[in-house]
Amino acid sequence: MSESPPPYRVLARKYRPQRFAELIGQAAMVTTLGNAIKRDRLAHAFLLTGVRGVGKTSTARLIAKALNCIGVDGQGGPTIDPCGVCEPCVAIAEGRHIDVVEMDAASHTGVDDVREIIEAVRYSAVSARYKVYIIDEVHMLSKNAFNALLKTLEEPPAHVKFLFATTEVNKVPVTVLSRCQRFDLRRIPADTLAAHFAHVVTAEAVEAEPEALALIARAAEGSARDGLSILDQAIAHGTGLVTAGQVRDMLGLSDRGAIRALFGDLLRGDAPAVLAGVRAQHDLGVEPVALLHGLLETTHGVTRAKVGGGDDPALSVEEREALADWASRLGFATLHRLWQLLLKGHGEVQAAALPLEAAEMALLRVVHASTLPDPGELARRIAGGEVAMPAAPALPSAVEEAQASLMKSTVAAAPPRLPADVVELEAMLGGASEHLLAQQVHDYARVIRFEPPVLDFAAHPRLDEDFTRRLMAVLRKATQQIWTVSLAEAPEAAAPSLYEQQQATEADERARVLAMPVVQAALAAFPDAALESYTPPHTQSPERSAHA
């Protein structure tokens, strides 16, 4: 009787790394571990954190191998390059080594589960060099379980190593983090994943288009396991050839060529073409939110190309050329406005009861906004007396209304006139809620030169460089002009401050009151009398007056 074929193993398990050299995208961590093993500076507890599928559990098993490998001849010691053929390596790889215990904290959350570990660590390893405890999703342990583990984690026996893995390190108590050597596993770059998937399809004797592998790598979002699961599905979906079209259909992704065409229609303001493109993609099964997502990616790609952010290796030559062309023709203001409009539309489509209709409305808003002038340019034209706008194609009435509203708001937001004197300057500062600056100007600012936007004040102990710096910043924000404020040693050329002027006015008014005949008669009749206070008529309330 013939033996039945072995059961199929999914790619994510079949191509799980068995050596550190096979662990992709984590070179920094491998280097650190290798140096620690060579110098015999191994921590008693390791914490591995990162997003799903980047190799946390695989790394923990590789560390267990590295610590317990005895080499082909049975005489080896800890090594960053375990042989993979000795009994400890084979047993650990197959998950049956008695001294390497794996525990899923998601299903063993209580203190009793941890107590079993605490009691077991007292005994030496049966056959391995180190007894290793691998606890996956360690953040799921209860508070009491963590507390029970602390003492053992801080001072474990020399023959015990703890390896923790988690996707949510922020949920692990600080008391545990401080007792572990932490490794943050990075998201794997899309180009690295695509190259890895190319090796996998070659080993599986399957042909795949480079663009298809790039699409899978991008959809994996840095996770090797997610990418291999998608690749497994793509191989089953096809007939020996994995094509980009099949991957798009399988994942519900929009055709990137169609996205580029739709992006171009948006920039041209061609509303009928935009609506036709949205409907065509919807008929092909592309979700409206995926369409907005693709347009956001394109806007981001154009902006990166404009600032020289480097080419994305996952993009085709055609895509790179298109992005570079748009980057040469679009300004940053336009790109940022596109991004904000599309991002707002993306959120609306996600929450909408009618996603398709919401997507159409969001993109029509982008079409209409693309025909409006840049607000900054419009403000400059108005400030320069150029009221007439440059010739433009006829716009729908709704867009004309939006343009008129924009012009009105821009005129309303025109910078205020410059203050004519120090009194208006104080009022402007008070209106800008800069009361401390206003008080300093009122009390200590003695004007030498007042020719906005240039101000020269006499030096005063209460006025320093911080005063001039803050005053220039506030005035620049309030008037949209660059100001120059300085302090000079020229008291003879300086006008009195507002406070000094106020004091002088009050002194003159006091002298005038004292010179009144009725007041002179009162002082003569009452020699001990004195004028205590006086409020000038223009500031006093009706019931207040001079009193002696």
CA distance 252 to 242: 15
CATH number at residue 214: 1.10.8.60
Q: Residue 27 pLDDT more than 60?
A: yes
**243 and 200 assigned to the same domain:** yes
Query: Do 356 and 239 share a structural domain?
Result: no
What mean pLDDT is predicted for residues 25-37?
87
CA pair distance 413, 433, nearest whole angstrom = 18
The CATH number for 434's domain is 3.30.300
**Shared domain check, 17 and 165:** yes
Tell which residue, 68, 125, 61, 134, has the closest CA to residue 94: 61
Amino acid at 304: R
Residue 196 within any structural domain of the chain = yes
For 5, 7, 8, 9, 11, the CA distances from 2, given in Å and listed in that order, are 9, 15, 18, 21, 26
> What value does the mean pLDDT take over residues 80-89?
89
Mean pLDDT of 63-84: 89
**Across residues 277-300, what is the average pLDDT?**
89
pLDDT of 540 above 60: no
Predicted pLDDT at 514: 83
What pLDDT, on the 0 to 100 scale, is given for residue 511? 84
Residue ending a domain, among 184, 209, 233, is 184
pLDDT band with cut points at 50, 70 and 90 for residue 47: very high
> What does the pLDDT look like over 162-200, one tens digit per residue?
999 999 999 999 999 999 999 999 888 888 899 999 999
Residue 541: inside a domain: yes
Is the same domain home to 30 and 179? yes
CA distance 307 to 101: 51
If one counts the domains in the chain, the total is 5
- In 10 A of CB 451, how many CB atoms? 9
**Would 293 be classed as within a structural domain?**
yes
Q: Is residue 130 in a domain? A: yes
Asked if pLDDT for residue 477 goes beyond 90, the answer is no
**Quick one: 31 and 128 in the same domain?**
yes
pLDDT at 385: 61
Which of 226, 251, 276 finishes a domain?
251
Position 340 pLDDT exceeds 50: yes
DSSP-based three-state secondary structure for 241: strand
The verdict on 74 and 217 lying in the same domain is no
Q: Count how many residues are written for the chain.
A: 548
Cα radius of gyration rounded to whole Å, the chain: 38
* DSSP H/E element including 181: strand 181-184
**Are residues 102 and 54 both part of a single domain?**
yes
Q: Which of 129, 152, 184 is a domain's end point?
A: 184
CATH of the domain at 276: 1.20.272.10
What distance in Å separates the CA atoms of residue 50 and residue 117, rounded to the nearest whole number? 25
Over the stretch 230-271, which tens digit does the pLDDT of each residue have?
A: 999 888 877 778 888 888 777 766 567 788 889 999 988 889
**386 in a structural domain:** no
The answer on 235 and 176 residing in a single domain is no
* pLDDT one-digit tens code per residue, 354-389: 999 999 999 999 888 766 655 665 666 666 665 454
Q: In this predicted structure, which of 11-25, 107-121, 143-157, 513-527 has the lowest mean pLDDT?
A: 513-527
In which domain, by residue range, is 275 found? 256-371
pLDDT above 70 for 395: no
Report if residue 413 sits inside a domain: no
Q: Are residues 171 and 208 in the same domain?
A: no
484 by DSSP, 3-state: which? strand
Q: What percent of the chain has pLDDT over 70?
A: 84
On whether both 142 and 53 belong to a single domain, the answer is yes
Hey, is 482 helix, strand or coil? coil
Domain check: are 25 and 65 in the same one?
A: yes
- Whether residue 404 is contained in a domain is answered as no
465 vs 119, which has greater pLDDT? 119
Q: Is residue 408 part of a domain?
A: no
Give the pLDDT score at 173: 92
pLDDT (tens digit, 9 = 90+) per residue, 403-433? 555 555 444 445 567 888 888 888 888 877 7
Instruction: Taking residues 292-298, report their average pLDDT.
Output: 91
Question: Regarding beta strands 131-136 and 484-488, do their DSSP bridges make them parallel or antiparallel, or are they unpaired?
Answer: unpaired
Residues 449 and 523 in one domain: no
Q: Is the pLDDT of residue 273 over 60?
A: yes
Instruction: Give percent of the chain with pLDDT exceeding 90.
Output: 20
